[in-house]
Structure 1
Amino acid sequence: MHNNDPHAPHDAQGENPDVEAGNLEIETLKLQLSEQQALNAELREANLRDHAELDNQRRRMQRDLDQARRFANEKLLNELLPVYDGLERGLAVETGDVASVREGISLTLKSLLKIAENNGLVQVDPLGQTLDPERHHAVSMVDAPGAVPNTVVNVLQKGYVLNDRLLRPALVAVAKGE
């Protein structure tokens, strides 16, 4: 007689095929789980390395940016040193007539303007031009016989443009209309 009770103990000759299949499936799942855990650990490690590398790169870039800011004016200041030296030499001269002092100041100013030009600074001297509110600041309107209305007849302070961007508008007086 054969016992069909699933809860009955098995005979010693062989195991139930359902149990064997279940055990095989459990072992396969355990193997897959351990593989996935190993892969997960590798991915976590790679993620940590990438994160650390990004942090290091961010710090390097910040350090480079700080250095660039600190020394951004180095070239300009190096070009200004001869102007500074010329002014000091001019002040050291005890004797001299006004004409030679004036000539020295004129040469120093030309040198300074050339350095500024080389670094993108352009002077705005609008004398005789039509008032441009984008580049000129009218501080007064004056009677100017023979001048076209809204024309700059006097420049009180020159303006400056740095690389096509207005740094300071020119302060001007313009001709009144009739």
Structure 2
Amino acid sequence: MGISFGETLGALREDLRRNIFFKSKLILTLFRLANFFACRSKLTLFAGLPLIFFYIAICEWVLGVEIPVKTKIGKGLVIHHGVGLVINGFCEIGDHCVVRHGVTIGNTILADGSVSGVPTIGDHVEFGANSIVLGAVRVGDRARIGAGAVVTKDIPDGAVAVGVPARVLDGHSI
């Protein structure tokens, strides 16, 4: 069995508490419900197909936010604006993270044509607008990724990463 309905409601309550924009609340409400149906069992996946298709139509096609229904996202996610937000369905995102518009969290195509692993994001991570995290990297707890940064290497806990390619700023731990 996958996630419980109680866990889903708890995560949704925390999401709604932390988000101020209607659009973000709508995206996260639809995501949490679609995620429950998609991850609970094959029976709930089949029963939830209409809701899952509705989620995809509204969030991806209309609102421009791509978060696959089976993505593992901790409670309290905050989405600021969200347009152009792309999260790979195999990555894992911790609790209380903040993402802004244009953020991409995903994999890369390697020189031999294979696909890299996906990022693992810790708790309380904040992503600046248009930041990108690619490949099998870990972004540590309480890290901040600056606007426009391209992360291709691990970022330690509490670090601030900026630039292309991203580098950790010395003395700027939080």
The two structures have a TM-score, normalised by structure 2, of 0.26
Instruction: Name the TM-score, length of structure 1 as normaliser.
Output: 0.26
Structure 1 or 2, whichever has the larger Rg, is 1
Higher RCO (C-alpha 8 Å, min separation 6): 1
In terms of fraction of residues, the more helix-rich structure is 1
